[in-house]
Structure 1
């Protein structure tokens, strides 16, 4: 990366254009940031006019990807109504709460499976530890 008086030169993560980053946390050029801001405004206005819409409805109505909308929900920038289905489970397709990737039932099943898998290896844990060789 090249240093100049304006800041660090970086490539935009979205369009790959070279831009002068004002601080070390800039990852997008000003054009891409404007596009994201415009999309966010579109989504916010759509939700205001259609408060019971779900993520898929908002995405279709605004042309903004569901991934971007879910990211804004996870970041706390957008709040949908209480009874609105935010996302669907990646495993079974049931509604997932809070914009998560999995429904509560699948989270429980995955957690139980992990715990069971860890439990099977407990027999090997008794031999693990620090061993000190006796002095001769």
Structure 2
């Protein structure tokens, strides 16, 4: 049985399943998607930006970007549609982070890995030094 939750759109109560919104808001989201998709299917609108789609359909920018993020609208088919990087907010068309944020995270991971490697070598040298036997005659 599902758990009771508040709808993220209207704050109403509903039984949570696979969706984070209540059935009424889910219907509205689907209606909004059909409106946006019908708008973008027209040849003259295929290169529309998110702002132009919002103006032409009345669907919020947040909802349009959510459709892209959920891969319901594919940027390959609609080249000017994007969503925000989860770290810095830059416009991206795939994944969760922009290339710059991915690079900075990777750089941080590399530094951490290098530091751990140096610490491990230092510990090994300390163990070798402690295990040495010195003979005096």
Q: TM-score, normalised by structure 2?
A: 0.60
Distance 1:101 1:55 in 2: 19
Which residue of 91, 94, 110 maps to 1:98?
Answer: 94
**1:133 paired residue number:** none
Which residue of 84, 94, 119 maps to 1:124?
Answer: 119
- Is structure 2 residue 42 aligned with structure 1 residue 46? no
Compare the two structures and name the one with the higher helix fraction. 2
In structure 2, the CA distance between the partners of 1:25 and 1:79, relative to structure 1 (3 Å rule), is: closer
Distance 2:89 2:2 in 1: 45
**Total equivalences in the alignment:** 118
* Two-structure CA RMSD over aligned residues (Å): 3.3
Q: Is 1:43–1:64's contact at 8 Å kept on the other side of the alignment?
A: yes
* Structure 2: unaligned runs, 5 residues or longer: 125-137
* Structure 1: unaligned runs, 5 residues or longer: 1-6, 129-136
Structure 2 SS opposite 1:98: coil
Q: Deviations over 1:5-45 (max 9, x none)?
A: xx6572332223234x4x84354322111221121112112
Structure 1 SS opposite 2:4: strand
In structure 2, the CA distance between the partners of 1:63 and 1:114, relative to structure 1 (3 Å rule), is: farther
Q: TM-score, normalised by structure 1?
A: 0.60
Structure 2 SS opposite 1:11: strand
